[in-house]
Chain A
């Protein structure tokens, strides 16, 4: 339930962005449905990723496994591959200059599941 709530919240945020962008509205029921779909899709993803890794005799899921998830659409695959390269290169940079502060890990925002990056933020400016 707690996970579902986090997914629901994040889906709500993303839908809000889209709503503003496209000038449409989502009903609460639509957002709820998308949340539930996302939640259940994560189960499918998790099982597939596990199988892909095992198929390659690994126990750790890698970006290659994630790319396999996106294989059905070449546009999606291209997008995911680009993101993965961005992450890889920013990881490289981080390793090179360890002293510098890392703000590169922000990129991983694909399914928006349990990214616990909770920083109590200064809310006042935007409101």
Chain B
């Protein structure tokens, strides 16, 4: 039922472009011939456009074996959307329209700001200095790494 309303919503959106007449074509999940024509003419990326097809980067785990490995694309023809090339912009919230920033997003912004503040630090780390006095050794698993312990306790 919610599906049909969303379908109606979509066709209502589309009727702005195409006019009202062929509403029955929207019963299908696929594009109607008219819609296909519009997509093909206005939105579809073709070789003559001289722009690369946008793709999203795939998840990869450095420390696990990777199951989903399908890099079939030829590097030249695609534009992999980058999530990091504009990182220096990301220490403040970007404008929103209808969807607010999530807590997770604010955490991300907070971290980016923290990284920005630490960027020019040399040697000693302000975060470490601030937090070290609060370390209680009973909170952590000491046996695991003895070398590190001697390192941190010497600072």
Contact = CB atoms under 8 A, between A and B. Distances in A.
Task: Provide the main secondary structure of the chain B interface.
Answer: helix
Interface stretch (A54-62, A67-75, A85-93, A95-103): A67-75
Chain A, interface size: which category? 35 or more
B114 A9 contact: no
Contacts of A23: none
Give the interface residue-count category, chain B.
35 or more
Interface in A1-15: 1-6, 8-10, 12-13
Contacts, number: 127
A5 B147 CA distance: 18
Interface of A: 1-6, 8-10, 12-13, 16-17, 27-29, 31-33, 35-37, 40-41, 43-44, 47, 72-76, 78-79, 112, 114-121, 123, 126-127
B139 interface: yes
A28 B152 CA distance: 11
B11 to A, nearest CB: 32
A111 to B, nearest CB: 13
Nearest to A124: B146
Given A10-B141, A29-B127, 10 more contacts: A2-B139, A5-B134, A5-B136, A29-B119, A29-B121, A32-B127, A43-B107, A72-B59, A75-B66, A127-B147
